[in-house]
Amino acid sequence: MQGFGDDIFFASIAELNTRLRKKEFKAEELTKAFAHRLETLGPRYNALALPLTKTALKRAKSVDDELKRERFRGPLQGIPYGAKDLLALAGHPTTWGAKPYATQVLDETATVLNKLDATGALLIGKLALVELAGGGGYRFPSASLFGPGLNPWDVTRWSGGSSSGSGAAVAAGLVPFALGSETNGSILTPSAFCGVTGLRPTYGLVSRHGAMALAWTMDKIGPLCRSAEDCGLVLQQIAGGDPLDHGSAAKNFYYAPQYARKFTDLKFGFSPADITNAEPDARPVFQAAMEVIRSIGASMVETALPEFPYAALSGIIISTEAASIFEPLITSGGVDQLADVKQAEGLKAGLEIPAKDYLKAMRIRSILKQKYRELFSNVDVLIAPVRGTIAPKVTEPLNGSPVTSGMAQLVTAGNLAGLPALSLPCGFVNGMPVALQVAGPPFSENMILAIGREFQNRTDWHKRRPKV
């Protein structure tokens, strides 16, 4: 087998693909190396749900045949990757991270996995997640069939949820990129805690067909990668309309940041309160990151989020939709097999939410979306910390932030409004990564990726590696 140094495991998608095209090594060799690393180190972080080495190597041989004949399919051809274990792969277990579904085998494959297969990307493993992607609410990182997601920067700390395995696997160089999902922070949070770059696409841009549903009107699938550039390359392949997803926006995406508007023509919305709201040791780090943002050349405009009961709205909508989705699990008593009792009780309580409360929340949500359309007539993007703190200890209960001023609620607001957002590593606090988010109006992915790419041209936080 080709001998690979650590540099290869932290290389960008473009670099790996270029070297494959130059025939410096074969896709089969690259896949074997990453698959071995994932199988060996994945359990260290409770990140691996299911190895798929055998099928990946078989597929890699066909990719090598294509490369030999110079049949190039795109930048993901020959690139190994991992996928959150709520994405169905026909004939293989899809556990949704929960004991009641530990032996579940579905007969369909998720649209995003089919799209990646068509471009020659190689799925080497399913990755761990918080049970049922956190449906019902959970108190501890241990709420998973696979145990608590452990952070490669410090295994006593959490890798973030619910895409815990995806964040840890990319951070530790176990996969060049991974797919995660987000309903209310499950891509941005593990990206921030693990020091990787994560993209939450606009609602409806990426098909959810074949993915476990948590909340039909809020679920999104997106990539966790080494860089903004890599996120754009992956999004280009997985985006697009899908008649099998009733929430599909029927829009395609072509990654072309070079055609984004000039930074000097843009207005970046920010709030000074976000710095003072952060934990004390994090404030100078976020302040320095905001200075880099300023240096890009856009106008900085002090901005406040529209006032809404964000937590209550998201709580009612997610709880009601999740309870409807998992009603058979709840009524059968299978819900009591979940690792977190609070989560089981939360799902049960969702069945008791009156229809009038759900409908009222949805009506308020439509007003919220209108307010964000108005907000983006004054600024082009919003810039704020993803989280004002570092990853918590895995033994600590998970408590929501009491902070509501500034843009502390931007993650929830963005999910309610269906906005795209990009998590960018922006420094370290006590040895742990923190991140900024760049959020924009619907279908502004090229703009926020261009901003992310420029930020990463001026910093090297996304290139830092944990000691694995």
Q: Count helices and strands (H / E) in the chain.
A: 16, 13
Long-range contacts of 349-352 (CB under 8 A, 24+ apart): 349/319, 349/323, 350/136, 350/319, 350/320, 350/322, 350/323, 350/324, 351/323, 351/327
Which two structure tokens, joined as six digits, stand for 114? 């089919």
For residue 122, the surrounding DSSP H or E stretch is strand 122-127
35 by DSSP, 3-state: which?
helix
Catalytic residue among 144, 159, 162, 191: 162
Residue 223 · residue 231 · CB < 8 Å = yes
Catalytic, out of 12, 186, 319, 444: 186
Whether 248 is catalytic is no
Q: Is 162 a catalytic residue?
A: yes
- CA dist 180 and 86 (Å) reads 9
Q: Which two tokens stand for residue 457?
A: 């041209």
Question: Looking at 32, 84, 115, 220, which residue is catalytic?
Answer: 84
Q: Is 2 in a helix, a strand, or coil?
A: coil
Cα separation, 461 vs 468, in Å, equals 17
Residue 360 annotated in active site: no
Residues 6 or more apart whose CB falls under 8 angstroms from that of 278 comprise 286, 385, 388, 389
Catalytic residue numbers read: 84, 162, 186
